[in-house]
Structures are given as structure tokens and as C-alpha cells.
Structure 1
Amino acid sequence: MIGGGFFLAFLIAGVPIAFALIALAVVIILAGGNHILFQSFPQQFFGGLENYGLLALPLFILLGEFMNEGGIGRRLMALAMALLGSVRGGLAYVNLVANMMMASILGSTVAQITIMSRIAVPEMERAGYPRDVSVAITAAGGMLAPIIPPSMMFIIFGVIAQLPIGDLFIAGIVPGVIMFLAFLAVIAWLGQQHAFPRSRTLDLRERVVAVRDALPAAAIPVVIIGSILGGIATPTEAAAVASVAAVIVGMFVYREMSVSDIWPAFMRAAASSAVVLFLIAAAGLFSWVITFENVPAIVSAWVQSLTTSPIVFLLTINLILLLLGMVTDPIPAIILVVPVFLPVATGVYGIDPFQFGVIVCLNLTAGLLTPPVGTGLFTAALMGNVRAERLARLILPFFLAVALVIVALSLFPMLSTGLGAALQ
């Protein structure tokens, strides 16, 4: 309780999350009287980064930068238009399909919302869609990013939980498809409420051109997922190959990227990666301290006093995660939650760690679009020039769909574990 109070005070004071975690670890050590732990501080801090799987993180961030520079996102949008654009509300469905394609490459909600806001919202507005509804659909589509592989959150969860990242990617495929289908149903309902226009029918030549132009872009997620599922490459190797492919496509196929764009993309990716990796290092230190101080066992005893049912435990965790996601970003939340609750979930209630990982990431992603913090919500509102309050109300039907998916994942573990078991 004392440590939690100090941590809250650090956050209120504006202390960065990573430094707040380190300070909290110091407070816990001082409160426990185990001062000898300070001798291992440097070793434990740097030891948190000695994980091969972490190499995938900066490489996927770099892939996102190269995609943005190379015009790949726009081609994926055109491909979705060629496939679905002639139905009523076609651009809304196109937006969601393009979001799913981008999610299979970027893995970052905020990055996806930023890119898709530039591409999809102007097109939808020109076609007669209300601007606020267009922004809401784009923002909701961003919730697909952390669950459809490759996912930044899965990488971080896998590193902290010491689980194979490739297997986590596989665990997210079926839940991601289910959530995509649920969002399609929401868009169909919104189309009835807002009388979405019918997009013009593309002729055969236009469809062929759109498919042809998008094939190199669409090959990138196929390379990533196919190489991982086929056992050809690890997620790290797949990210490296995909980054090279994105440069080749952007420079020599689409000709929207030049040599001068490569170095700035490296610098942006390095800056973003440094922030996340420093946070992970602080998380490793924090996890080591709370494990030494037996915090997971204390939490386990407390949770067991509340319920002995795995289902009730998962539903309780869902509520805790959603509330936590409302006040903090997903990565710090994962760092706080996983060391404490994962041992309880697997050791006490027998919950599959991959099922737990998917549920954690999906809950915390929903928090990205929830006030009062809601990084994704405010990013979408800023990019779309829409009031955040209005946007939060419009996104509510998508939240209800996500809630139903989370409940289904909690009740039916095979939704997140079945594909991995089938592939083994």
C-alpha cells in the first residue's frame, strides 16, 4: 500500500513512468529492509534487456517508419477499396479492412491511428460521411493493432512473461479475426443510424490496377506471418526481412522513398525504441524486486480469498485492467500487471499464459481510447479535428463489441490457444 501511494505520487508529480518504477523499487527495498539488493541494481537493470526477442521491437518500429515513407499504407487502402468499395457504407468497411492490413504490419495503435487518419478520413469525408463518424471508425480500427500480429504489446508481454513471441503472435490471430468481424457488425449498425452513402462501383480495370499496385505492399504482412507460422524465421528475423522489403518496395516499386529518407527513419525508430527499451529495463528491475519481496504470493493469497473460480478471477482481472488502461498507457500497465498477476493466473487458477496474454493486451488496448488519459483517443481527435468527448461517445459501440470479445476469450480458452495447439 505504501509503495502504491508513492507510485501514485510520482505520477501526479509528472515523473516519467520508467523513473517512477525505479523509485518504487527503491521504496520497496527500503520498506523491506533488504538493502543488500542495491548491490545488484546495475546488473538487474541491464539484465532486463538481455533478451533476443527484444530485437524485434525496434525492427518493427523501423518497419512502420519505412512503410509510412514508402506509400504502402495508401496502396493497402486502395486494395481494400477494390475489394469492398461498391457496397453501401463501402468506405467504412474499406477503412476497417485497411486498418486490419496495417495492423498486421505496424502493431502500434497510435502509429496506426496517425497514418490512417491521414489516409482514410479525408476520403470518407469527400464521399459524404460525417467527419466525426469517420474519425471514430478510424480510431476504433486502431484497436486491432495490438492483437493482430505482429504486435508491440505481444513482444513486451512475451519478454516480461518469458514466453515465445512467435507463439503469442499465433495466439492473437483468431481473436483478432473475431474482433474484426465484430467491428464489421458495428459498422453495419452505424450505417443504418447515419445513412452511409454507397460508394461508386469500380470497373474491372480500376480493380485490376488497385490489386496490382497493392500486391508488393500486401506481400509484407504475408512474409511476416508466413515465415513465423512456417517456422522459417523468428519474429526478429521476420521483422528485419520485412524492413528490407519495405525499403525495396518504397524506393524501387512505388518510387515514393529516396535514400535521403532512410536515415531520418532510422533516427525516429531509434528514439522511439530507446524510450520503450528504457521502460522495459526499469520493468525488469521492478519485477525482480517485487519477486524477491514475495509480492506475487501476497497478491495470490488475497485473490484466492476473493474467489476460487478461474472464470470469476478472469472477469475480475478484466475489470482491473480496463480501469488501469483508463489512467495509464498499455506498456507501463503491462509492466505493472504481468509480474504480479501472471503467476497467480497460471499457478493458482491454471489459466493458459497465452490466453492471459491476449486478454491483458486487448483490455489495455481498449484503455487507449478511453478518457481520461486515452493516448489513442486524443491522437485521433487531434488528427481528425474532432472533440474528444464526441469521439468517445461515437466509439462506445465498438467498446461494447470489444467487451463481448473479451468475455468470449475468458470463457473459451480455445479461441486463443486452439490455433497454436493445432500447428504444433
Structure 2
Amino acid sequence: MELFVLLASFILFLVLGASVASAMIVSAVLSLLVNGLPMTIMAERVLSGINSYTLLAVPFFIFAAVIMNRGGLTDRLLEVARCFVGHFRGGTAQVDVLASIFFAGMSGSATADAASQGRILIPHMKKEGYDASFAAGVNSASATIGAIIPPSITMVIYGSVTNISVGALFLAGIIPGLLVGLALMAMVTFLSARRGYPRQPYMPWKDRWRPIWTAFPALLAPVIILGGIFTGATTPTEAGVIACVYGLLLGFFVYRELKVKDIMPLLAETVEATAVPVYIIGAGSVFGFALTMSGFGFMVQDMMTGLVEGPTAFLLVVIIIFMLVGLFVEGTAAMLIFVPVFMPLVQQFGIDQLQFAIIVIITLLIGTITPPVGLQLFIAADIAKLSVFKVDIWPFVAIMLVVVLAIVFLPGLVTWLPGVIM
């Protein structure tokens, strides 16, 4: 009865247009009432869900992303990317993907990546003759790299939920993130050749040094941030603070695009952006408790044990589940709901936890670029002035799924680097 009330009310509120977090809280409250439990449990679960030192890294990395967007780092990284791939087929779209790889090493936010690069590159692509649907598709897909290559806000949240080392998750994401970037560039090349999209003039090496030198301080940011984490000198939270300080130094004294009057708007934007994931995490903690009380975890585990017979089949079923869930539920919420349920099965099948984590993270990120609720897709579609259903996203979804399947069958893509360094 409790499980029926919980799931039925959750789905009902989603259908009525409530946010995922609000639907989780209200349905959890109804379930607790049916169980006869006191409402003080809800407050306790919300606070315990967000009371984490690891989660302190989230607002710092969001602040760092905001600083870098406003402080001139994004523009200079785009110029460096243009130097190297602008002359490829579909040059401006290639710039979008490569710049996402650069930006990923500093911000850890797919949303910030989609918004900052999209405002610059989508209008450029449209002027150069690219279809608006393609421009929005490549921008939203490339933005996911920001949450795969470290530092990653998504990995910080995953680590806080599962107690897996965030540093190990960061290392595990490097090779898959680069593979996603290369796969997207290959798809851009293929589609651009078929559709006749332009390339930019080849830039001689003697002309590349100036933009590279100008962007050199920005390019050092990933080295400083990740170097501290991987050497053990800093925790991910401390690295987030360093990212903020370094971004402010560049914005004020090197690129001189920040003024003292900009600090309050930057902080306000950070608080607003931080509120969303924190609200979802708190709501997910209450909802997860209600699921546990209703026996949902045991039911799913029994069903999966009877459905699959080995680790590969289990991972393939997990990918299908998260793909379907990602169509309708925000990625962080889906992670909070399902990952704790699946973790006992991960251990039962002997699957490496880092392999499972990266598979889940990339699959959920695919959900952020698929209609009807994909956040990165909404951002890119809004910039391109399109409906989300008209964005040419499915070729990029397909190529990202190829990378996910490669990780299923070649776990060393995830586990090799952490095994060497840690």
C-alpha cells in the first residue's frame, strides 16, 4: 500500500506539472503519513542528505564556472579551440566540442558549458549556414563533457551518495570524457560532410601562438585544480575554492574583465544555480527513505536477479532503465532514487564500482539532452529559438551510447587510470 501511494502520487504530480523535487517531497510525505511516521523524519532526512562536506564542492565549482564565463576565460578558450580544429569540416561545431573539453577541466558544470558556449557559437553557426537544429544539437551534446571530464559536479554528488572517493571518480572520468569528445567530433565530421557545412580557413602555426599565449593562464586552471586533487594536496572541496580564487585573479588582474561591482551579481547567480541541485538532493533523501520503508529496493533487486544472469546483462538493463528514466526525470533525481537501489546488485555481480558509476553518469547525461525534459537541450534550443523536439540530437545520442557500450565491454577504459595513479 505504501509503495503504491508513493509511486502513484509521484507520477501524478509529475503529470500535473510539478517539478521532480517537489513531486518527490509531496509523495514522500503522503507515504510517511500512510506509514504513521512523524513528519519530523522529513526534516531530519532533508538535513542529513545535504549535510555533507563533500557537497560543499558543488557551490564552489558553480561559482568558478560563473566567474570563468564572466571573466573572459571562455572567450579565450574558444579562440584556442578555433586554432586547432576550426579548419576541420564543420569547423565551428568542432570548436564547440573541443572548447567543451577545455572548459570541462575548470567548471564541472554541463549547464554552464551549454549556456556560455551556446550564446556565442550557436548564432555563429547559424550565420555560417549551419541548420539551427544541428547547432543546438552539437552544443547540448558537447556540454555533457563538462560533467564527465573532472572536475565534475555530478561526480561530487555521486560520491556523496555512495561514499566512493571523488578523486577516484575524477580519474575514472578522464578517458571516457575524452572518448565522448572524440566520438562527437567524428559525428560532426560525418554530418558536416554529408550536409556541406563549411570549414574555416587554415590558420598557420605562426598565427596560433598569440591566442594560445593569451589563453595560457586559463589553460593552466585544470592543471592547478586537478593537480591538487590527484596529488592529494587538496580535497575536491578545497580544489573548488582554489578554482574560484584562481578565476577571480584571472578575471580581475590578467584579463581585467571583472570589476568589484560584478561580485554581488556573480554570487547571486551562484546561489540561484546551487539551490536547484541542493533542493533535489534534499528531496531525493526523503524520497529514498520512503522507498526504503516501502520495500522498493528489495522488490527491484529480486526482479533484477530473476531477469539477468551476469554482470554484462545487468549493466545493459541498467542502461535501458536510466535511458527511459532520463526521458522524464532530472538526472540528479534519478541518481538519488536508483543508484542506492542498484548498489547491492553491483556488489553481488562483482562489477567495479567506478565502471558502474561512469556508465550511470554518462547515461544520465544523455538524458539531459533528450526531450522532453533535458536541461542542456532546453538551453540550446532556447538560444537557437527552436522547439526541443526539433533539435537534431539523436545522432549525438547514438554515438554517446556507443561510448557507454564500450565501457560495458572494456572496463579498463574506466579502471586503468585510477589503478595506475591511486
TM-score with structure 2 setting the length? 0.93
How many Å apart are 1:8 and its aligned residue? Answer: 0.5
Unmatched tracts of structure 1, length 5 or more: none
Q: Which moved more, 1:322-331 or 1:136-145?
A: 136-145
Contact 1:127 1:199 (C-alpha < 8 Å) held by counterparts: no
Q: Is the contact made by 2:20 and 2:329 (CA closer than 8 Å) also made in structure 1?
A: no
Corresponding residue of 1:411:
409
Within 2, Cα distance between the matches of 1:149 and 1:269?
20
Displacement after TM superposition at 1:131 (Å): 3.8
Task: Output the CA distance in 2 between the equivalents of 1:143 and 1:181.
Answer: 13
Aligned equivalents of 1:389, 1:45: Cα separation in 2: 35
Q: Choose 272-281 or 71-80, whichever is displaced more.
A: 272-281
Report the counterpart of residue 373 of structure 2 in structure 1. Answer: 373
Deviation digits for residues 125-161 of structure 1 (CA, Å, limit 9, x no counterpart): 4444444333322222112122111122111111111
Kindly provide the CA deviation profile for residues 293-350 of structure 1, in whole angstroms up to 9, marking residues without a partner as x: 443222211211112211111111111100111112111111211122222222x222
Displacement after TM superposition at 1:74 (Å): 0.5
Once the two structures are superposed, what CA deviation does each residue of 1:326-379 show, in whole Å capped at 9, x if it has no partner?
A: 112111111211122222222x22222221111111111111111122222222
- 1 CA distance for matches of 2:16 and 2:195? 44
What does residue 364 of structure 1 align with? 364
C-alpha contact 1:369 1:377 (8 A) present in aligned 2: yes
Q: Give the C-alpha shift of residue 383 in structure 1.
A: 0.4
Alignment of 1:188-199 (within 5 A): 188-199=189-200
Pairing 1:15-414 to 2, within 5 Å after superposition? 15-31=18-34, 33=35, 35-36=36-37, 38=39, 40-346=41-347, 348-391=348-391, 394-414=392-412
CA RMSD of aligned residues (A): 2.0
Unaligned segments of structure 2, at least 5 residues: none
- SS of 1:48's partner is helix
Please name the residue that 2:418 is paired with. Answer: 420
2:11 is aligned, of 5, 8, 11, to 8
> Residues 118 and 383 of structure 2 are in contact (CA less than 8 Å); yes or no, is this contact kept in structure 1?
yes
Between 250-259 and 276-285, report the one with greater CA deviation.
Answer: 276-285
Deviation at 1:236, TM superposition (A): 0.8
Per-residue deviation, 1:171? 1.1
Q: Which region of structure 1 is more displaced relative to structure 2, 363-372 or 123-132?
A: 123-132
Q: Distance in 2 between matches of 1:387 and 1:54?
A: 34
- Report the Cα distance in structure 1 between the residues aligned to 2:371 and 2:44, rounded to whole angstroms: 38
Distance 2:410 2:293 in 1: 34
Q: CA deviation at 1:90?
A: 2.9
Moved more, 3-12 or 290-299: 290-299
Deviations 1:228-261 (A, max 9, x none): 1222211111110011111110111111111111
Task: Tell me the CA shift for residue 205 of structure 1.
Answer: 4.8
Q: Render the CA deviation track for 1:146-185: whole Å, top value 9, x for unaligned.
A: 2111122111111111222121111111111111111121
**Distance across 1 between alignment mates of 2:344 and 2:270:** 33
> How many Å separate the matches in 2 of 1:198 and 1:279?
42
| Helix, strand or coil at the partner of 1:255 | coil
Could you tell me how far 1:13 is from its partner in structure 2? 2.6
Residues in 1 aligned to 2:393 and 2:341: alpha-carbon distance in whole angstroms = 31
For residues 10 and 387 of structure 2, the distance between their equivalents in structure 1, rounded to whole angstroms, comes to: 31
Instruction: Quote the Cα distance in structure 1 between the aligned partners of 2:120 and 2:306.
Output: 51
1:239-288 deviation per Cα after TM superposition (whole angstroms, max 9, x unaligned): 10011111110111111111111111111111221232122122223333
**SS, match of residue 327 in structure 2:** helix
CA distance in 2, matches of 1:210, 1:76: 9
The AA in structure 2 aligned to 1:411 is F
The residue type paired with residue 210 of structure 1 is P
- Higher mean alpha-carbon deviation, 86-95 vs 242-251, is at 86-95
| Structure 1 residue 223 displacement after superposition | 1.4
Assess, with a 3 A threshold, how the Cα gap between structure 1 residues 125 and 10 changes in structure 2: closer, same or farther. Answer: closer
Whole-Å separation in 1 of the counterparts to 2:13 and 2:349: 33
TM-score, normalising length from structure 1?
A: 0.93
Number of aligned residue pairs = 419
Q: Structure 1 residues 38 and 349, CA, compared in 2 at 3 Å: closer, same or farther?
A: farther
The one-letter code matched in structure 1 to 2:56 is L
Residues 57, 273 of structure 1: 8 Å contact kept: yes
Change beyond 3 A, Cα 1:410–1:5: same
Distance 1:354 1:76, change over 3 A: same
Q: 2:283 & 2:103 partners in 1: Cα distance?
A: 30
* SS of aligned partner of 2:393: helix
What is the letter of the counterpart of residue 120 of structure 1? Answer: L
Q: Identity rate of aligned residues, in percent?
A: 33
Query: 1:385: Cα distance to partner?
Result: 2.2
Amino acid corresponding to residue 9 of structure 1 in structure 2: L
The more displaced of 197-206 and 142-151 is: 197-206
SS in 2 for 1:148: coil
Kept in 1: contact 2:20–2:330 (CA 8 A): no
Q: Which amino acid aligns with 1:44?
A: R
Q: Tell me how far apart the structure 2 counterparts of residues 39 and 110 of structure 1 sit (CA, whole Å).
A: 34
Contact 2:310 2:349 in 1 (8 A): yes
